[in-house]
Chains A and B, each alone.
Chain A
Amino acid sequence: MTRMHRTAIAVALLLAPAALAAQGAGIEDRLQARGLPAALAHRVAAVAADATARGVPDGPLADKAIEGWAKQVPPDRIVAAVQRFADQMASARDAVLSAGVPSPTGPVIAAAAEAMRSGMRPEQVRSVVQAAGQGAIAAPGLSVAAALQAQGLGSDQAVKIVVGAMHSHRSMSELLDLPSVAHMMHDQGMSPGDIEHRILDGEGGGGGDQGSGHTGEHDRPPTVPPGTRHDHDGHF
């Protein structure tokens, strides 16, 4: 470490409250722009600044406060909910760190926290993050696993599907398609167990169409893109 670097860090520690305050000012302005009274915005910003110091992203915290304000939640409950979310994200960050990711990004931490809030266990989060490797597919992978679990597939099954999809190098678009696919199968009367098997087996059919902007509800063929790649679109 160079001497200049050391001095810079020493000054940073001195400035930490000011630097955090500067960051907090951005959050406060954003919250006030959405109608939150100044004192409430200040309280939320304080929670957010504390969270940032713990390596947790403050964007989702501000979003949560804005959501609470929109839903007319009383101010004290908004602050309490934001604090709880910050704590959940701190735990989620630990889970992501334990997967060997040196600097977890905001989106991954937020997705992991939401997944854990829906019942996913830390080791399951770890599996998904590890399978994602270096790409940006971890966050969507976690969201998809959480959604599949909520749709009635067991959490182990949901994780297995997502990890399997990642290992067979399915694209992000194929991954993001899974909850819709599962939903369609459910409508056709398939049980969660059947759905799990069908998706894992990567049932046949082409399905290489990356359609742009069409509503695509019931008109899609009931196939799942196979494990083999067809397109490079959306692949990371």
Chain B
Amino acid sequence: MNEWEGFGADAHRYLDGEPFEELSGAELAAADRLAAEARDWAGRLPRLDPALDEAVMAAVRERAPARRRRGLGWLVAPQTVRFRPIWVPVLAAAAALVLWLAPRGRRAEVVLTPVRAVSDTVFVRFELAAPLARTVSVAGSFNGWQVGALTMIRDARGVWTATAPLPVGEHRYEFVIDGTRWVPDPTAHAEVDDGFGGRNSVIVVGPKGLVRS
């Protein structure tokens, strides 16, 4: 049962975020699976207790009573600090002035300017036929790509639906089946490359609502 089964060089390059030549569907799936399992496993790991800090300090204090008594010796001791404390308030003030004077340096957030219509948001209905799925949800730009944020409800025929209020404008999303399988929406306006080798569905929502097939 322990037959050698490694990955090809291209699979390693793929996982390392480097350009690769060719990858079979099976290799790709195995690579993704390993990375996902490692990720899940890491997520389940317990965290170190911050109380560790105090335990360390207690031990450290015991070891250096002599050092402690010297107290503020650091003020006169030679040191290679980058900023002397007195400069910090001056620099901070200068920084504030610069940011005020040169707004171009500021970070720009992507916020689609809302339409000044009667209503900024429109109810949008999502639908997917997936009789074999156990759970389906919608994850996209409007909910931070969170897998559990918009869960869908299954009807007797195996058609899943969900309705959500979305701001007008362009949105990207996919359906997530059983928490791990991401699939685009065949009824969306468009489908685009997601930058990771997968696809995203695109809809453009106008104030009158959305039309798709």
Contact = CB atoms under 8 A, between A and B. Distances in A.
A168 interface: no
A107 interface: yes
Interface string A70-101: 11111111111100110000000000000000
B196 A81 contact: yes
Contacts of B108: 57-59, 105-107, 109
Interface string A169-199: 0011111111111111001000000000000
Nearest to A2: B101
Contacts, number: 236
A70 B98 contact: no
B204 A72 contact: no
Contact of B202 (A63, A84, A150): A150
A11 to B, nearest CB: 4
Contacts of B198: 71
A147 B202 contact: yes
Contact of B194 (A37, A55, A67, A144): A67
- Chain A, interface size category, equals 35 or more
Given A15-B94, A68-B196, A26 B107 contact: yes
Contact of A110 (B110, B191, B203): B110
B39 interface: yes
A207 B111 CA distance: 28
B98 to A, nearest CB: 4
A172 B107 contact: no
Interface residues of B, number: 74
Given A23-B107, A209-B208, A74 B35 contact: yes
Contacts of B98: 8-9, 11-12, 15, 19
Interface in B100-156: 101-102, 104-105, 107-113, 115-119, 121-125, 139, 141, 144-147
Given A180-B210, A217-B210, A173 B110 contact: no
B115 A173 contact: yes
Interface of B: 14-18, 31-32, 35-36, 39, 42-43, 91, 94-95, 97-99, 101-102, 104-105, 107-113, 115-119, 121-125, 139, 141, 144-147, 163, 165, 168-170, 180, 182, 189-198, 202-213
